[in-house]
Amino acid sequence: MHVIFLAPHFPANQREFARALKAVGAYVSGIGDAPYGALDHELRGWLDHYEEVPSVGDIDAVTDAVRRIQIRGPWVDRFEATIESHVLIAAQVRERTGIPGLRYEVTERCRDKFVMKQFLRSKGIPCAKNAAISTAGEAVAFAREAGYPLILKPRDGAGAASTYKVEDDAQLAAAISETGLDKARRYFTMEEFVHGHEGFIDTLTVNGEVVFEGICHYYPNVLEAMTTRWVSPQIVLTNRVDAPGYQGLRQFARRVVAEMGISTAPTHMEWFYGQKGLYFSEIGARPPGCRLWDLYCAANDMDLYVEWARGVTTGRANPKPSRRFAAGLISIRPDADGEIRGYTGVDAINSRYGDSILKWHLPAPGTPTKPVGAGYLGHAWAWVRHPDYDSCRSILDDIGRTVHCWAG
C-alpha cells in the first residue's frame, strides 16, 4: 500500500507516523516544506519518496505534489495528515485527486468551531450556547443576549490560541480591539463560559469503531494555564479508564465520534464537567498536541503509532493498552522574560523519584524565553509516570513546587 504523509518533519513526533507506516510495510511518500537534505538520516530512511513544496499550507502546491506522486507511482491508496491546520487541506486534496480517506465535509465540521457545535447541538449533544462572530456589532449583540462571562476565539483555532475570557463590557471592548473585529470582518466564534473541570478524551477510530481511548485531565483549566505565569500547568493521563466514573464520558465520546461521521482517524475531544453535567467543548480529527501519543505509548506498553498505521493501511487495528501507568506532563515557566539563566530543584526531584521521571526538557542557559502562552511544550517541561494516578499527580505537584527556571 502506498501512503502519502503530509509534513513528516515537524513537529518532533511527526516522524513517528512515517516510522509506523514503514514498520507495517507501506510504501511511504512524504510532502513537506523542508529540503530533503534537511531531514535527518533516520527519517529519510522511512520515506521512499519525498516532494518539497513552498508551504504545506498551500493547497495548490500540495495538490500538484500529490499529482506528481500519482504520475510517478506506485498507485496512491491514502493521503494522511495529523496536524490540526493540515487536516482540512489533506481532505480537499483527496477530493481533488480521487484518493479515499476522511471526507472534506467531516473534516470541516471538526475544524470550524461554530459549525461543529451547531451540528452536534442539533443531534442532542450538550454544548455551550454560541454564535458566529465576524464584527464588533455581532460580538456586542451576543454579549447582550447571552450575558457574561463569555469566550471569544477563532473558529478554526487550536487550544487556547487567541482565546479571550470576557467578563464585562470593558473586557469585551479590549478583546474587540485586539482581534481587530472593530476594523474588518474576522472569523471568530463567541460562546457562553462553562464552569467546570476541563479534560479531554482521545480515540483511535478505525472504520467508525473506537479501538483505543485515552482520558486526560487539565490542572488548571487551559485558559488559566495559558495566561498565568506562576502556574506550572499539568496534563495528566489516567490509567483508571474502566472506573465507573468514566463510563458516561466514554459513551459520550463514542456518540460524538459517530455523529460527526468519523471513519478512520485519530480524534481529540475536549470536555467540561460541572454543575450542569458533561458538556462538549470541541473535537479534532487528529491526535492531541504536546506529544501526548508518546505518553500514551509510555503509559500503556504499546506503539499507538503502529496501530494507527495498521488502521490506515488495512482497515483493522487492535491496540491492547496495558493501563499499567498513569502519566503526566508539567510545564515549567521562567520566572521572567529575557534569557534563561539556569534551573534549581532538578537534582532533588531526580533523587526523590528516580525512574518515575521519563524525560526532562530544559532549554540551555542563554536561550531566549517564550511568552507565557507559548503552550505546554513552549518552555521547560518534564514527563512523569507512576502505577498510581494519585501518586503521579503528587510527583507533578512536587515538581511544580520544587523546580524553578530562572530568567532575566
- 275 has a pLDDT exceeding 90: no
For the chain, the structural domain boundaries read: 2-101, 129-192, 197-407
Q: State residue 379's pLDDT score.
A: 97
Instruction: Give the model's confidence band at 155: pLDDT under 50 very low, under 70 low, under 90 confident, else very high.
Output: confident
Q: State residue 161's pLDDT score.
A: 65
Do 2-101 and 129-192 come out as alike in CATH topology? no
- Average pLDDT (259-288) is 95
Which class does domain 129-192 fall in? alpha beta
Interacting residues of 184 by C-beta distance below 8 A, sequence separation 6+: none
Closest CA to 35 of 15, 9, 14, 1: 9
For residues 45 and 43, give the distance between their C-alpha atoms in angstroms, rounded to a whole number.
5
174-188 pLDDT, tens digit each: 999 999 999 988 889
Q: Quick one: fold of 2-101?
A: Rossmann fold (3.40.50)
Grid coordinates of 342: 539556569
pTM for the full predicted model: 0.91
CATH number for region 197-407: 3.30.470.20
Q: State residue 369's pLDDT score.
A: 97
Interacting residues of 58 by C-beta distance below 8 A, sequence separation 6+: none
Q: Order the strands of the 188-192 sheet from edge to edge.
A: 130-133, 188-192, 150-154, 164-166
292-351 pLDDT, tens digit each: 999 999 999 999 999 999 999 999 999 999 999 999 999 999 999 999 999 999 999 999
Q: Indicate the SS3 state at residue 274.
A: strand
